[in-house]
């Protein structure tokens, strides 16, 4: 079907990707606490299996777009942890030259289209990426990630309608982490099976254990094949959980400590994968420790880089507002 090959991803790669996100986010949280990162900072800890699994089954050129909880999406897309962390600290070597911050980063090269701060806006934008794929007949699929909170936005349904009307190659990945900021899905949604939100548009959808990277990959393949084969959009509802608050400034009083602990202890995606790897015997404890050490090094370097890179020159205030040349 496609000349573009799917990546060959081992369990070790998956483990690395998830651990990189986990350690990166822990470091970001630490830097936030130290005052090096400002504003809003939404951590992805707990949800790592979702982007890791989906990334593993994408092909070259497939695009990703998401909301503001975007660090994990960028890291698995292959964006440089230094550049991401330096953007968090508002430095000129950040992906947006320090002008975007945590919620607004992009990489044309890595097909990562943001990083969007308006809840739900990435859904029509991602549908537009799919529109461009179909227009160009390039056989690529766009993945539009959004949360259970965004799933109630009107523009999501405007997008569903057009995506199916025109059979656009888009996979909608709903990361249902149970809370839209501090409001539980039960208190915000008249129906809570979000995988069925495409029914009235004739868009198929399934619920997936978003804490299990294997389950994510299996569902991801199905959804991507569906979209790539010209059948139009597909919805994946990833049942997942964020361990931290909505943002760094959220004390998360709306849920119990027990609830969080139960998820961490019994459903942690990294622990689950680690046990599978050890059971398979491909890598032993020492091998995993070696990966841990590599990741810590990468993250520490990123933190160091992000604190030493210079702030943008004051002249940057007035650059990148308009492009001068004609295209």
Binding site for another protein (CB under 8 A): 63, 65, 94-100, 104-108, 113-118, 121, 123-133, 135, 142, 154-155, 158-159, 161-162, 165, 319-323, 325-327
Tokens of 303: 């933190």
Nearest distance in Å: CB 125, another protein = 4
Nearest distance in Å: CB 90, another protein = 12
Residue nearer to another protein on the CB measure, 234 or 243: 234
Nearest distance in Å: CB 127, another protein = 5
- Distance between CA 98 and CA 95 in Å, rounded? 7
Nearest distance in Å: CB 158, another protein = 3
Residue nearer to another protein on the CB measure, 168 or 216: 168
- Distance between CA 186 and CA 148 in Å, rounded? 10
Residue nearer to another protein on the CB measure, 53 or 94: 94
Among residues 166, 88, 154, 79, the alpha carbon closest in space to that of 127 is found at 166
Using CA atoms, how far residue 127 sits from 1, 49, 151, 209, 240, in Å, is 22, 23, 15, 24, 23
Residue nearer to another protein on the CB measure, 40 or 254: 40
Decide: residue 314, CB within 10 A, 0-12 exposed, 13-18 middle, 19+ buried: exposed
Nearest distance in Å: CB 155, another protein = 5
Contact indicator for 124, 158 with CB cutoff of 8 Å: yes
- Distance between CA 43 and CA 242 in Å, rounded? 8
HSE on the CB side for 35, CA within 13 Å? 0
Residue nearer to another protein on the CB measure, 1 or 322: 322
The alpha carbon of 304 is separated from its chain's Cα centroid by a whole number of angstroms, namely 24
Residue nearer to another protein on the CB measure, 97 or 255: 97
Residue nearer to another protein on the CB measure, 51 or 168: 168
Q: For residue 270, what are the contacts with CB-CB under 8 A and spacing of at least 6?
A: 15, 18, 19, 22, 48
Q: For residue 91, what are the contacts with CB-CB under 8 A and spacing of at least 6?
A: 98, 306, 309, 310, 311, 312
Nearest distance in Å: CB 143, another protein = 12
Nearest distance in Å: CB 133, another protein = 8
- Distance between CA 58 and CA 54 in Å, rounded? 6
């Amino acid at each position: 079907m496609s000349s573009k090959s799917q990546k060959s991803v081992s369990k070790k790669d998956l483990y690395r990707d998830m651990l990189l996100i986990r350690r990166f986010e822990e470091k970001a949280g630490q830097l936030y606490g130290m005052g090096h990162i400002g504003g809003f900072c939404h951590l992805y800890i707990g949800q790592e299996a979702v982007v890791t699994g989906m990334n593993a089954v994408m092909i070259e050129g497939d695009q990703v777009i998401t909301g503001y909880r975007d660090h994990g999406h960028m890291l698995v897309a292959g964006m440089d942890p230094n550049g991401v962390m330096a953007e968090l600290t508002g430095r000129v070597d950040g992906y947006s030259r320090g002008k975007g911050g945590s919620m607004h980063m992009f990489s044309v090269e890595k097909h990562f289209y943001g990083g969007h701060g308006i809840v739900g806006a990435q859904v029509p934008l991602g549908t537009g990426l799919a529109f461009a794929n179909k227009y160009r007949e390039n056989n690529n699929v766009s993945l539009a990630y959004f949360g259970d909170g965004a799933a109630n936005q009107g523009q999501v349904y405007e997008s569903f309608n057009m995506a199916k009307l025109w059979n656009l190659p888009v996979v909608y990945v709903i990361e249902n982490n149970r809370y839209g900021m501090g409001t539980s899905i039960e208190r915000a949604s008249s129906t809570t099976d979000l995988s069925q939100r495409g029914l009235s548009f004739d868009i198929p959808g399934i619920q997936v254990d978003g804490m299990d990277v294997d389950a994510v990959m299996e569902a991801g393949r199905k959804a991507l094949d569906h979209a790539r084969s010209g059948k139009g959009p597909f919805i994946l509802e990833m049942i997942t959980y964020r361990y931290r608050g909505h943002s760094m400034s959220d004390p998360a009083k709306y849920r119990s400590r027990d609830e969080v602990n139960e998820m961490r202890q019994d459903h942690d995606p990294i622990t689950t994968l680690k046990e599978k790897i050890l059971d398979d015997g491909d890598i032993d404890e020492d091998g995993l420790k070696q990966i841990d050490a590599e990741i810590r090094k990468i993250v520490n370097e990123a933190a160091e880089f992000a604190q030493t890179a210079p702030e943008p020159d004051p002249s940057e205030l007035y650059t990148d507002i308009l492009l001068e040349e004609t295209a």
